[in-house]
């Protein structure tokens, strides 16, 4: 950190993160790792893909996060008949017979794209353009989206009938692929007690949009030593079969490896992970802390791995 202002902002981020997790924890029980990754993604200006069975409070999680960050929030339920215009908006004729643009639900700070794999590729692409460009184009006219802008898309891993799986190139736009597991016994006990009484837990506002933007800027400013960047890039190179850095595991079990975006997200994620833990610069441990959710959806197993039941998780573990 070069100046006292940056150090102050870094300390403020570490404190804000503690306050955020405390407030979110009042409503969301036992999903600490998921909350950490979603907040990391927001501070890195990334987007998340949440994979989990129904009923694990994905919607509640996003709502709670938008409340504590004091940001506008929209939920879009993806269905087979959803059209791009239903997301980005449409041009309509007004009383004076002039075209007027009516904004779609994408114009909010936080978007929950529920069951993104239920909609055809054309509609998926409309959402992904906004994630990449922070803008939408309607009839040749470009409309900028409000910042901060964050998309959290969900996918149900069980019911695959009538779904349109996201292509690899589109999956690559998501910083993290977060797997949501069932809560443990103690957590579920607490959840049931909390949700079956008349008392509703309330999370208080911790941050405003301007502070979030300042923290997003800070994450970019964090200095990183060359050996940490090299470790991140080397790790991504190791996932690519039949290249000079490929490991025996990679050549044996992987069809495709991760692209350069994975290296960028590893470094950004490591920077943010360092900051929320009160450090001013990341080390190799910070890269390892974010590696699995970054690489999980970017590497493709081959037939042998699937036949032998070798999971993506095991492959990443070996690479680390």
Cβ(306)–Cβ(254) below 8 Å: no
Kindly report each contact of residues 268-272 with a partner whose C-beta sits within 8 Å and lies 24 or more positions away, as own/partner: 268/44, 268/46, 268/175, 268/219, 268/220, 269/40, 269/44, 269/46, 269/175, 269/176, 269/294, 270/224, 270/228, 270/232, 271/44, 271/219, 271/220, 271/222, 271/224, 272/40, 272/43, 272/44, 272/219
Sequence spans of domains, the chain? 4-211, 222-319
**d(Cα 75, Cα 24) in Å, to the nearest integer?**
19
Report pLDDT digits (tens) over 214-264: 899 999 988 999 999 999 999 999 999 888 888 888 888 888 899 999 999
Residue of 68, 149, 69, 138 whose CA lies nearest to 101: 138
∠ CA 313-318-320, rounded to 5°: 95
Which residues of the chain fall below pLDDT 50? Answer: none
CATH number, domain 222-319, options 1.10.8.80, 3.90.79.10, 3.40.50.300, 3.90.226.10: 1.10.8.80
Residue of 97, 109, 106, 99 whose CA lies nearest to 68: 109
Neighbouring-strand partners of residue 135: 144
**d(Cα 257, Cα 34) in Å, to the nearest integer?**
25
Pull the structure tokens for residue 296.
């999980």
Q: Under CATH, what is the fold of the domain 4-211?
A: Rossmann fold (3.40.50)
**d(Cα 29, Cα 36) in Å, to the nearest integer?**
13
- pTM here? 0.90
Q: What is the DSSP letter of 76?
A: E
**d(Cα 174, Cα 179) in Å, to the nearest integer?**
13
Residue 37's pLDDT is 93
∠ CA 195-197-202, rounded to 5°: 65
Between 4-27 and 32-43, two packed helices, what is the crossing angle to 10 degrees? Answer: 140
**d(Cα 259, Cα 54) in Å, to the nearest integer?**
31
Cβ(144)–Cβ(16) below 8 Å: no
Residue 160's pLDDT is 62
Residue of 73, 66, 75, 72 whose CA lies nearest to 20: 66
Residue 282's pLDDT is 92
Q: What contacts 235, CB < 8 A, 6 or more positions away?
A: 266, 287, 291, 295, 319, 320
Q: Is 287 helix (H, G, I), strand (E, B) or coil?
A: helix
């Amino acid at each position: 950190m070069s100046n006292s202002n940056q150090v102050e902002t870094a300390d403020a981020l570490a404190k804000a993160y503690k306050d955020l997790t405390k407030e979110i924890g009042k409503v969301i029980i036992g999903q600490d790792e998921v909350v950490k990754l979603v907040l990391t993604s927001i501070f890195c200006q990334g987007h998340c893909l949440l994979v989990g069975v129904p009923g694990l409070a994905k919607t509640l999680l996003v709502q709670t996060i938008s409340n504590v960050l004091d940001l506008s929030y929209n939920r879009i339920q993806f269905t087979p008949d959803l059209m791009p215009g239903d997301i980005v908006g449409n041009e309509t004729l007004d009383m004076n017979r002039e075209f007027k643009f009516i904004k779609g639900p994408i114009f909010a700070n936080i978007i929950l794209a529920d069951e993104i794999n239920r909609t055809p590729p054309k509609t998926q692409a409309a959402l992904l353009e906004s994630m990449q460009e922070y803008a939408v184009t309607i009839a040749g006219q470009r409309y900028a989206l409000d910042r901060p802008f964050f998309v959290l898309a969900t996918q149900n891993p069980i019911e695959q009938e009538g779904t349109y799986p996201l292509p690899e190139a589109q999956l690559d736009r998501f910083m993290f692929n977060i797997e949501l597991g069932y809560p443990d016994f103690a957590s579920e006990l607490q959840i049931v007690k909390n949700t079956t009484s008349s008392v509703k837990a309330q999370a208080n506002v911790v941050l405003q949009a301007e502070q979030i933007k300042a923290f997003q800027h800070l994450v970019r400013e964090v200095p990183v030593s060359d050996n940490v960047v090299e470790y991140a890039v080397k790790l991504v190179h190791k996932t690519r079969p039949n290249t000079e850095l490929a490991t025996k595991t990679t050549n044996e079990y992987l069809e495709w490896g991760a692209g350069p975006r994975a290296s960028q997200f590893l470094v950004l994620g490591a920077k943010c992970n360092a900051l929320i833990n009160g450090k001013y610069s990341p080390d190799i441990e910070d890269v390892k802390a974010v590696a699995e959710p970054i690489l999980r959806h970017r590497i493709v197993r081959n037939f042998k791995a699937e036949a032998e039941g070798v999971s993506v998780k095991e492959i990443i573990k070996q690479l680390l």
